[in-house]
Structure 1
Amino acid sequence: MTDNTYKSGAEALIPVPVEPPTLWNRNFRLFFTARAAAVLGEGTVPVAFAAGLLGAGRPGSAVGYALGLWTAAFAVFVLFGGVLADRFTARRMMITADLLRLPGAALLAVAFAVGSPPLWAVYGLSVVAGVGAALFQPGVASTIPRIAPDVQRANAVLRVVEALMTMAGPALAGLLVALWNAGAAFAANAATFAVSAVCFLLMRIPPAPPGGRQRGSFASELALGWREFRSRSWLWGVISIWTVYGLTVAGPMVPLTASLVTGGHGSAVYGTLMAVNGAGSALGGLLALRIRPRRPLASGAVALLGLPVNLALLGLGAPVPALAAGQFVAGTAFAYWLVMWSTAVQTHVPQEALNRMHAYDVAGSLLMMGVGRALSGPVAGLVGPEAVLLAGAGIAVLVVAALLSVRPIRDLPRAPQEIRSLS
């Protein structure tokens, strides 16, 4: 890539090369650190709740309620988080969210360190953490294109570190519980919120260009986000198809995999398989660093064919080495799809609406996955978990076919700014 500036004298005919802007600028380094810390902290929470509540003699359902209330609060408030991030800037909302969650995690750390806190307090603080996550998450999507000259590369790098931190979080929590107690794991979670908040405070993001319109009421902004969402057929097409996937495939897959593998091979094998899945996710991010498809959603959809392989192996009761291979392939496929999907949304949706678009995406996907998880037990009780997983494998193939059959999804090109970043 060269500019049109030429040197004088003997060098008058030699073009001056212009280096493309580096991905690892100050803002991206801070964002990278914040995301690594946040995902590491998130990974400690399920282990910390399980160790703290079960260790205090609480029933196993208490752990489920604590995590379920977090998910419910997140799903309910994430749309509001999208509107607030568009109104007050994503950076401010993410700092606010971290500062909201930090004292809650610190209180849980103290409570579990000194004894057994009442369940109402645990549930209440879990809801607060879910609200904080809902205020935080929409801003992730809109911040990346503001700080990264190469959006796909940024998403791929972040996907790699998130996969690694997803594996490291439970391991860190288990170590802290073994050495001290559940309170230490919650203290580590609180520390990650502090790290994230400091990183966002240090970031210097230039203000977005004026959108040319005045902000309306909260309700009107939410409605405007819905109209923006409906106006893009490729966007609502993917999310509509993905709700079916969440209900019938992704939702049942997690609890049924856990029950089948743990029941048949033990919890240690299940933990190993989840680590292998995380390693596959890291590889998927690395592949997305190298592969630059002209039609990113079509490329990502083809990669999703790795998911039914994993489901079929689980449903057929394959031996552990085959199950590990399936988990690795599934992790790779899903991570590659996520990078392509995130990049498409972040480069094709206007900046002033991006937070709300991401919120609609997250809310729809999460709600249907929750329903799928809730229904997986009763359905598996009627037909067997193997049958549910095998049916999910077939539906996963149909999901890929649906994504590729819808022309606006299949033919969505790489955004012009992404093409320029490669030149």
Structure 2
Amino acid sequence: MTPAPAPPAASLRSRNFALFFAARAVAKLGDAMLPLALSAGLLQRGHGPGAIGAVLASLTVCLAGFVVFGGVFCDRLDTRALMIGADLVRVVTQAVLAGLFLGGHVVLWQVCAIGAVNGIAAGLFQPGVAGTIPRVAADVQGANGLIRTAESLALLLGPALAGLLVAAFSPGGVFAAHAGTYALSALCLALLRLPPDASGRRAARGGYRADLAEGWREFRARQWMWAVILVWMVYMITVAGPQVPLTAAEIIPSRGAGVYGLVNSALGAGTALGGLCALRYRPVRQLRAGAVALLGCCLFPAAVGAGLPTGSMMAGAAVSGTGLGFWGVMWATSVQTQVPGTVLNRIHAYEVAGSLAMMPVGQALAGPAAQLLGGRTVLLAGGAMVIVVSCALLGVPAIRDLRAVSAPPRAGGGTKARHEPARRGTSGGKST
């Protein structure tokens, strides 16, 4: 007889959490190798930052455009099955991409088309992440902190591993390894034994259009959420979008793919440190603390834009990663604990779509902006915009005054979640 699924465990050492943790870590390892492999592979074939930005934008546009529908599917269907299916689709697409690069027959539009398919698969996968974490761990902030740390360590190892594979084989070898990481992620998800979904999403409901409308109403009703997304759109256009293609174009031709991998590994190490800090520090006002930490993100684009030595660029990347990692945990925990489970996947889909909507714009504009102003100037401007974004987040009362809660509210406001006290030097009584 198959064992009954266990409820979310108080300890973060449970089997379910370990499997989900492994799935996220291994998939992120592959994702962390992708930018370097794409950048090196396209640059080797005579393409510039514009081509790199176009490929990344094709993935991001499809992710942002499809993720809202993915949220509805996750709220109506088997979330885990959808996530496994999305992983398997990406096993196939990355294997095809590996074949193209290994065979030496690389056409830009084909690479963009594969990126688009990957974006659609990611849009189907991503909404389920928010709804799954509360089902595998009772300590939501602790779970987010550990997952963020693992993903960050993957960002640390991924670029360095990709640099070694590119040097030893070719970018095609990186894409083959990437396909393998998605296969392992799908296996870990298949082994999960999730508890019954308390959200009641299997209950009879209206059509897909009604579900979309309900999710939008719930999203609009939370000022702290849509205000963050509006500010984040500016961040995506001015900082996150241009950062990958422009840092690659500035570092790889002059210092090599190995240095680019080291700098991005420092970024991953910093992000891991930010996740670890979030395990220990439990602020009452999570988004306020996250916005302050985000100020450190200005140092990475500024260091590359200023043409500083490699060690200085690595230090700037590490500080930037720490701020971004801490902010990421504070934001994810706020969404997963402030929103009822009945609409969590759809609201998460709306916030992901809003967060990413402007990133392809920044990616697509990176090349033209670099040609007009110079890549270093655009990166320096991005560093300044990080400060503007952080101050804008702190300037909205609904964001800076949002208080942490210990559990998601029930739909319809049936219960009130407890407010969390501020704690330092503790993991909230949960075993990690």
Name the counterpart of 1:339: 329
Q: 1:248 to 1:242 in 2, by over 3 A?
A: same
- Which amino acid in structure 2 is aligned with residue 422 of structure 1? G
For residue 303 of structure 1, report the CA deviation from its aligned partner.
0.8
Q: 1:276 to 1:370 in 2, by over 3 A?
A: same
1:273 to 263, 288, 295: 263
1:59 & 1:233 partners in 2: Cα distance? Answer: 43
1:298 & 1:319 partners in 2: Cα distance? Answer: 33
Instruction: Spell out the pairing of 1:75-154 with structure 2 (5 A cutoff).
Output: 75-110=64-99, 112-113=101-102, 116=105, 122-154=111-143
Q: 1:192 to 1:269 in 2, by over 3 A?
A: closer
1:405 & 1:126 partners in 2: Cα distance? Answer: 37
Instruction: Confirm whether residue 221 of structure 1 aligns to residue 211 of structure 2.
Output: yes
C-alpha deviations, 1:365-408, integer Å up to 9, x for none? 22212212322343344444444344433332232222122111
The size of the alignment, in residue pairs, is 403
Higher helix proportion: 1
1:311 & 1:112 partners in 2: Cα distance? Answer: 30
Computing the radius of gyration from Cα coordinates, the structure with the larger value is 1
Instruction: Spell out the pairing of 1:5-404 with structure 2 (5 A cutoff).
Output: 21-49=10-38, 59=47, 65-110=54-99, 112-113=101-102, 116=105, 122-211=111-200, 214-262=204-252, 265-404=255-394
For residue 32 of structure 1, report the CA deviation from its aligned partner.
0.8
For residue 277 of structure 1, report the CA deviation from its aligned partner.
1.3
Unaligned runs of at least 5 residues, structure 2 = 1-8, 408-418, 422-426
Q: 1:240 to 1:120 in 2, by over 3 A?
A: closer
For residue 239 of structure 1, report the CA deviation from its aligned partner.
0.8
SS at match of 1:305: helix
1:351 & 1:142 partners in 2: Cα distance? Answer: 7
For residue 49 of structure 1, report the CA deviation from its aligned partner.
4.5
Q: Indicate the larger mover: 132-141 or 316-325.
A: 316-325
1:231 & 1:148 partners in 2: Cα distance? Answer: 27
| 8 A Cα contact 2:39 2:245, kept in partner | no
Name the counterpart of 2:411: none
SS at match of 2:12: coil
For residue 236 of structure 1, report the CA deviation from its aligned partner.
0.6
1:290 & 1:342 partners in 2: Cα distance? Answer: 16
For residue 114 of structure 1, report the CA deviation from its aligned partner.
5.5
Q: 1:87 to 1:239 in 2, by over 3 A?
A: same
For residue 120 of structure 1, report the CA deviation from its aligned partner.
6.0
SS at match of 2:402: coil
For residue 177 of structure 1, report the CA deviation from its aligned partner.
4.6
1:27 & 1:370 partners in 2: Cα distance? Answer: 35
- Which amino acid in structure 1 is aligned with residue 179 of structure 2? A
TM-score by length of 2: 0.83
2:330 & 2:136 partners in 1: Cα distance? Answer: 18
Structure with the larger RCO, 1 or 2 (CA within 8 Å, 6+ apart): 2
1:265 & 1:25 partners in 2: Cα distance? Answer: 44
SS at match of 1:293: coil
Q: 1:54 to 1:380 in 2, by over 3 A?
A: closer
For residue 294 of structure 1, report the CA deviation from its aligned partner.
0.9
2:180 & 2:279 partners in 1: Cα distance? Answer: 30
Q: 1:274 to 1:189 in 2, by over 3 A?
A: closer
Name the counterpart of 1:3: none
For residue 65 of structure 1, report the CA deviation from its aligned partner.
4.6
Q: Indicate the larger mover: 303-312 or 46-55.
A: 46-55
Name the counterpart of 2:6: none
2:307 & 2:165 partners in 1: Cα distance? Answer: 34
| 8 A Cα contact 2:74 2:82, kept in partner | yes
Alignment root-mean-square deviation, CA? 2.9
1:119 & 1:374 partners in 2: Cα distance? Answer: 14
C-alpha deviations, 1:119-178, integer Å up to 9, x for none? 665544333222111111111111111111111111111111111112323333444455
